[in-house]
Chains A and B, each alone.
Chain A
Amino acid sequence: MENLSGFLILGIATGSLYAIAASGLVVTYTTSGIFNFAHGATGMVMAYIYWQITDPEGWGVHPILGLVVVLFIVAPLFGALVERVIMRGLQDTSLVTKLVVTIGLMVGLRELVNQVLWPPAVRPAAKFFPGDRWTLSGVSVTAHDLIGIAVAILVAAGLYLLLYKTRIGVSMRAVVDDRELVRLNGGRPNRLSMFSWGLGASLAALAGILAAPIVQSTLQVDPLTIFVINAYAAAVIGRLQSLPWTFAGGIIIGVAQNLAVVYLPQTEALTGLRPSVPTILLFITLLVLPQTRLRTHSLQRLRESVPHSTLQGTLLMTAVLMAAVALVAQVSDARMVLDLSRALVLCIMILSLVPLTGFAGQISLAQWTFGGIGVWVAATWISSSNPLSLVLAALVAGAVGAVVALPALRLQGIYLALATMAFAVLMDNLVFKQEWMLGSSIVVDRLPGLENDKVFAIFLALMFGLLALFVVWLRRGPFGRRLQAMKDSPAACATLGLDLTRTKLEAFAISAAIAGIGGVMLGMLKPSVGPNDFLMFNSLPLLLMGVVGGITAVGGALFGGLLLGAFPVLARVLADVPVLPELFLLGPALAGISLGRNPNGAVNEITRSFRDRNEARRRRKELREVADVRPEGDGVAIGPEAPAHAGDGRVLIDPLDEPEWLGIDRPFTQREVQALNEALDLKESDLDVTARS
C-alpha cells in the first residue's frame, strides 16, 4: 500500500477532531459528574451558528471573527447557561435522571435545528483555506486537515496548562473530589462548574466547526451529531478521566477509520462498515476496559421515590383505557384513530423500559432496535397473521436482548447506556439497511379480525393492558424484589448471594421481548416499515418520556406514551398558531430537561401531591381540634412521647404517634380518675391532679 502514510495523516486529522470533542466531554464529566449526551448536538448547533455568522447566505462575517465569536462568546455562554439552568439542579439525583436530562437536551437541540432554526436546505460547509492541498503518497491532504491537527495539539497543551498549572484548573479537579470542601476552602464550585461547561461547549464547537466540512460538503444535522458522538469512544478509552488517553483514543479511532478504507473489501454488505468503525471501537473498548468495582461506600440518598403499581389498579386502568379508546375511536376521524394507535404503540415501547429502567435501574437506548428485530421475525419467519408470530417475535427479541446484555453486563450506568447506544447505531448502519432485513421495507399483516383500524386501536389498548399486568405481576413477585434490591444496592445483593448477572440478563431479556412485541405492533399499524422506523434516535424519546411519566410505574408508561404521541398531533392541529407548534415538537425534550427539577416523574408527582394534601389536611384538622380545647384542659397526656409545644399555646401532635389525651380533648371526669387510680393502684389522696367534673 503505497498511499498508507497519506491515509495515516488523514486518520490523524480526523482523530484530532475526535480528540478535541472528547476532551470537552471529559472536562465536563470530571468536574460535574454528568455525562453530557448532548455534547455531540452542542457541536452540531455551534457549527450551524458558525455557518449562520460567516456564510455569504447568512450574515457574511469574516471566518476568523466568526470563529472568535462562536468559540469565545456563544459557546461558553451556552455551556454556562446549560449548567446554570439545567444541570445544577441535578445534584443528588440518580444516574438515570442525569442521563435523561442530557438526552433531553440532545433531542431538543436536534429538533430545534431541524424544525425551527435551520429547516433542511443546502448549506455548504466551507473548509479553511480551501485552495491549499498537497498530494501525499497518492492521498490529497488539505490545509484544513493540517489545521485540525495543529489545533488538537494546542488544545492538549492548553488543557494541560489549565488543569495542572492554574488555580482554577486545580480547583476544577478538586471539585470532583469533594465539592463541599472546595467551598470550605473559599472556592466557588458553582462558578467552576459553569466554567467547565462553558469550556466543554467551546471544545464541542471547535470540533463541530472543523468537522462539518469533513463529514459532508453540506451541513447535515444527524451525521454531524453522530460525528461528535463517535468521539465518545475516545472519551471512554480515556475512561472519562484521563485526558492523555482521551487524545490517544481520538487518534486511534481516526486512524482505524481511515485505514478501514484501505484494507476493507469494498463489498455491498460492508458499505456501512466504515462509518461504523468508531462505534465498533466504542463497543470493543467498553467490553475490554477494566471497570470500576461495585461501590460499597456511602448509601446514596436520592430525591427519587419508588411507588408500586397494584394489580387491581392496573386492571382498572386497562378497563378504563379500553373503554376510552373505544369511545374516542367511535367519535373521531380515521386520522385521529391512527394517531391514537401510534400513541398506544409508544406506550407499549415505554412499558418495555419499566422493568429494565424502572425496576432494575439499567438503561437501554436500543428499544426500537429490539422492536425492529421483533417485526422482522414476525413478518418474515412466519406469517404475522398467525398469533404465534407475536410469541416468536418476543422470544427472538428477548434472546437478542440477552445476547447484547451478556457482554455488557459487567458495565454499569453510563457505560451500559453507551453500549446499548453503540449496538443500536451498529444495527442501524450495518443490519437494518440490508436488503434481506428491513432494507426494502416490509409489510406486516395484522392478526385476523383486526383489519378495522378502530378495532385495532382497542386491541392495542388491550395489548398494553395485558403487558402492563405482566409487568406489575413481575414487580410484585420475587423477581421484582430481586430487581429492586439490585437497583438499591448491588453490593449488598452480591454479599447476600444474589446472582447479579442472571438478574440483569433476565431484566434485559424481558424488556427486549416487550419491545419486540411493540415493534410488531408498529408494523401492523403502518402500511409498511423500513430501517428509518427503528433508528437509535427514535429510542431516545422513549426513555425521556418514560422517565418524565414515571418509569417505575406502568401508569407512567401510559402517561409518557400518550404524551409523546400527542405532541406531533398538537403541533399539527395548532399549525396556524405562531410558536405553539414548534413548542410541541420540542415537547419531549423540554419535558425531559424539566426533569431536573422534578425527578420522580409526572404520575408519581401527581399521586403524591394528592396524598400529601390529604395528609396535610388531616394533620391540620387534628392540630386545630387540639388547639381549640387546650385552654380549658388541665389534664395530662399519656403516651410514648410527650407532645411538643408549638410555643404559642398550641400543642403539636404527630398523628402517627398520638398520645392518649386525658382531660384535654374532653373533660377529665371523676370516672376516669377512678379508672386511672385503679390502674395505677393509687388512692385519691396520692394525686396532685385535681379533677374537674
Chain B
Amino acid sequence: MDPRQPSEANARAAAMPPELMQDPLLELEAVTAAYGRIQVLNGVDLAVPAGTVLALLGPNGGGKSTTLKVASCQMEPTSGRVKIAGRTVNGATSEQLAELGVCTIPEGRGIFANLTVRENLELATYTGKSLSAIEDRTYSFFPRLAERRHQLAGTMSGGEQQMLSMSRALSSDPVLLMLDELSMGLAPLVVEELYAVVSQVAGEGVSILVVEQFARTVLGVADWAAIMLGGRITRVGPPGELEQELTAAYLGDR
C-alpha cells in the first residue's frame, strides 16, 4: 500500500496467488458493477478453487455483497467476466444457476416467512432432489426443524430461520455454495453451530464463497481469505496471514 494514498478509491488491486488460479470453480475477471450511475465494483479479480472455502471479508460498503450478487447472476456486471467451472455465465439468470447446482443463500434470512418449514424445503426441490431426501438430510442436521415442520417459518427464532436457510445448501447437494452474511444478527453460539455445518459441507468437497463482515469465526473455516476495500480485492492470502491486516482494513489504520 502506498501510504500517501489512503483513499479507498485508490486502493490497489492485489495479485491472485498462483495456487488460487489452478482449476478455479468460480472466477471473476475484472468485474465492474454499478447501481445506476454509482459504480461499486472497480475491477474485481477473484477465484475460488474447486473444493476450497474462500472468505470474502471487509468493512461495510466495500462491495462484498455486490460481488456475491454478480457471482450468483442476480446482478449483471457492467464489464468483466463471471466464469463458473471455466464457462462464462454472464447474462445467465439466477434460476438457471440454481438448477446447475449453484446454491446462494442471500443476506438476512433466506427463507419464506409465510410458508411452513416443510413448504420451504419443498422449494429446494427445483434442484432435482426429492422432497423426502431433502427432509431427511435437513432433519438429521437440525432435529429442531423436524419438530417445527408444520410451523410457519417466520414464527421461528432467528437461529432456526438461518438453519432453515442453510438446509437448502445442505440438502440440495450443490457444486458451489455462496453465503452472504450468515452471522448477521445471530448469537455467537448459533453462529458457531452454523459454521460447523459450513465446514462439514466443505468437507464433502463443495466449493464455498463466504461473505462476512465479522471475521473471526469464518477464518477458522476458510482455506483462503480475501479483503475487499473500495470495490477491489486488496489482499488475498491464507487466513492466518490476513488476520492482522484485517484490523487495519476495518479501522483504516495501516
Chain A residues within CB distance 8 Å of chain B? 167, 170-171, 173-174, 176-178, 180-188, 641-642
Contacts and interface: CB of A to CB of B under 8 A. Distances in A.
Contacts of A180: 74, 94, 106
B126 A185 contact: yes
Contacts of A187: 95, 123, 126
A188 B123 CA distance: 11
Contacts of B74: 180, 183-184
A170 B115 contact: yes
B112 interface: yes
11 contacts: A170-B115, A178-B112, A180-B106, A181-B106, A181-B112, A183-B93, A184-B95, A184-B105, A185-B126, A186-B99, A187-B126
A357 B99 CA distance: 44
Contact of B115 (A173, A641, A642): A173
Given A167-B125, A186-B99, A177 B94 contact: no
Given A184-B106, A184-B110, A185-B168, A170 B95 contact: no
B122 A167 contact: yes
Given A167-B123, A173-B112, A181-B111, 4 more contacts: A177-B115, A183-B98, A184-B72, A184-B105
B234 interface: no
Given A184-B72, A187-B126, A188-B95, A170 B119 contact: yes
A181 B165 CA distance: 10
Interface of B: 9-10, 72, 74, 93-95, 98-99, 103-106, 110-115, 119, 122-127, 168
A158 B72 CA distance: 36
Residue in B9, B94, B95 whose Cβ sees the most chain A Cβ within 10 Å: B95
A336 B99 CA distance: 63
Residue in B104, B105, B123 whose Cβ sees the most chain A Cβ within 10 Å: B123
Nearest to A191: B95
Contacts of A181: 106, 110-112
Given A170-B122, A170-B123, A174-B123, A184 B115 contact: no
A183 B95 CA distance: 5
A185 B98 contact: yes
A194 to B, nearest CB: 14
Residue in A170, A173, A186 whose Cβ sees the most chain B Cβ within 10 Å: A186
Nearest to A166: B122
A182 B110 CA distance: 10
Nearest to A174: B112
Main secondary structure, interface of A, reads helix
B95 A186 contact: yes
Contacts of B10: 642
Nearest to B114: A177
A177 B112 contact: yes
B129 to A, nearest CB: 11
Contacts of A641: 9
Nearest to A175: B112
Contacts of B103: 184
A641 B5 CA distance: 12
A293 to B, nearest CB: 16
Contacts of A173: 112, 114-115, 119
B145 to A, nearest CB: 17
Given A180-B106, A181-B106, A186 B126 contact: yes
Given A170-B115, A177-B115, A184 B122 contact: no
Given A170-B119, A170-B122, A184 B104 contact: yes
Nearest to B119: A170
Nearest to B153: A177
A475 to B, nearest CB: 27
Nearest to B178: A184
A612 to B, nearest CB: 13
Contacts of B123: 167, 170-171, 174, 182, 185, 187
A173 B105 CA distance: 19
A183 B125 CA distance: 13
Given A167-B125, A170-B122, A174-B123, A184 B94 contact: yes
Nearest to A177: B112
B140 to A, nearest CB: 21
A167 B120 CA distance: 10
Contacts of B9: 641
A76 B125 CA distance: 26
Contacts of B114: 173, 176-177
A182 B127 CA distance: 12
Given A170-B123, A174-B123, A183 B94 contact: yes
A615 to B, nearest CB: 12
A289 B110 CA distance: 32
A131 to B, nearest CB: 47
Contacts of A176: 114
Contacts of A171: 123
Contacts of A642: 10
Nearest to B124: A185
Contacts of B126: 185-187
Nearest to B165: A181
Contacts of B113: 177
Contacts of B119: 170, 173-174
B6 to A, nearest CB: 13
Contacts of B98: 183-186
A582 B104 CA distance: 51
B151 to A, nearest CB: 15
A174 B113 CA distance: 9
Nearest to B37: A654
A16 to B, nearest CB: 28
Report, nearest first, the 4 A-B pairs whose CB atoms are least far apart.
A186-B126, A186-B98, A177-B112, A183-B94
A297 to B, nearest CB: 12
Nearest to A173: B115
A184 B110 CA distance: 9
A642 B10 CA distance: 10
A171 B112 CA distance: 10
A62 B87 CA distance: 55
B127 A186 contact: yes
Nearest to B168: A185
Contacts of A174: 112, 115, 119, 123
A177 B119 CA distance: 13
A299 B125 CA distance: 33
A85 B94 CA distance: 22
Contacts of A170: 115, 119, 122-123
A170 B116 CA distance: 10
A187 B112 CA distance: 13
Nearest to A188: B95
Residue in A171, A181, A185 whose Cβ sees the most chain B Cβ within 10 Å: A185
A171 B111 CA distance: 12
Contacts of A188: 95
Contacts of A185: 95, 98, 123-124, 126-127, 168
Contacts of B168: 185
A603 to B, nearest CB: 24
Contacts of B106: 180-181, 184
A71 B81 CA distance: 47
A178 B98 CA distance: 16
Contacts of B95: 183-188
Contacts of A182: 123
A693 to B, nearest CB: 29
Nearest to B10: A642
A182 B99 CA distance: 12
Contacts of A183: 74, 93-95, 98
Contacts of B127: 185-186
A410 B86 CA distance: 57
